[in-house]
Copies of this chain bind each other. A is one copy, B any other.
Amino acid sequence: MPERIIKAFKNAEIEKISHLDYFNIAVSVDCVILGYEDKQLKVLLIKSDLEEFSGLNSLLGDLVRPDEDLDEASYRILRERTGLNDVYLEQVQTFGRLDRHPSGRVVTTAYFSLLDLHHHQLRLSHNDLHWHPVHKIGKLAFDHKDILDSCLHRLRQQVLERPLIFSLLPEKFSLRQLQEVYESILGTELDRRNFRKKVSLKDWLVDLGEMETDVPHRPGKLYKLNPTLKKRLRARLRVS
């Protein structure tokens, strides 16, 4: 099989390189899994078990299996690590630096996903899995800090245009909660009145006619995401 592929890419210089070398590249995916808690955006990390990176955390990744799509692989990792199925997932960028993995050549494709950190189905697969506030993260194993940063950059670009952010919140939420999520992602303070005007113009929200409970102040109205949009979010990630 490998020979067939190399033949398909017939290239003048091909004889200079051993055929097998072309298949010394491994393909992996890495997931930047983001949640929201205590007014902070958090990312799910695991302690690296490579001695080269002892003491450092890394993103959740795995080799892509011979029989699975890239999207499927990232979806599988998410499922294995969190137990969650209906999660927003988006490919961001592929990283292929020669020395990015100490054990050999690994090209990795980064995905980010957003989920409700307090979802009742959330079951972390491993004791060494923990949520870390993204703005407190220093070094990570491999080039994972770069990967994280590129995903956060993409998230910030998209978050005002598309209704992604609701995956971070529980089913019902108040406008204050929603605003706080935006503020933690964008790293800026927003004017409450203008914010409310902006989201109300977008027809993203449905007023539930209910109020917050157990808050130490005047309760606000509760909203949920417009069901049509919710379906559309799910549709994007139907993989397996």
Interface residues, chain A, CB within 8 Å of chain B? 1-2, 4-11, 17, 21-28, 49-50, 61-71, 91, 93-98, 101-107, 109
Contacts and interface: CB of A to CB of B under 8 A. Distances in A.
Q: Which 9 pairs between the two chains have the least Cβ-Cβ distance?
A: A70-B96, A4-B103, A21-B66, A8-B103, A94-B94, A5-B104, A1-B104, A5-B103, A23-B23
Given A69-B97, A94-B70, A104 B22 contact: no
Contacts of A71: 96
Number of this chain's copies in the assembly equals 2
5 contacts: A4-B104, A5-B104, A9-B62, A17-B66, A71-B96
A94 B62 CA distance: 16
A66 B25 contact: yes
A11 B66 contact: no
Contacts of A10: 49
A10 to B, nearest CB: 7
B25 A64 contact: yes
A2 B104 contact: yes
Nearest to A27: B25
Contact of A2 (B26, B28, B62): B26
A169 B105 CA distance: 38
A71 B107 CA distance: 12
A231 B105 CA distance: 32
B107 A27 contact: yes
Contacts of A4: 103-104
Contact of A23 (B11, B26, B69, B101): B26
A76 B95 CA distance: 17
Contact of A22 (B7, B8, B66): B66
A5 B64 CA distance: 12
Contact of A24 (B7, B66, B68): B66
B8 A50 contact: yes
A94 to B, nearest CB: 4
Contacts of A25: 23, 25-27, 64, 66
A23 to B, nearest CB: 5
A147 to B, nearest CB: 13
Centre residue among A50, A63, A70, A95 by max chain B CB count within 10 A: A63
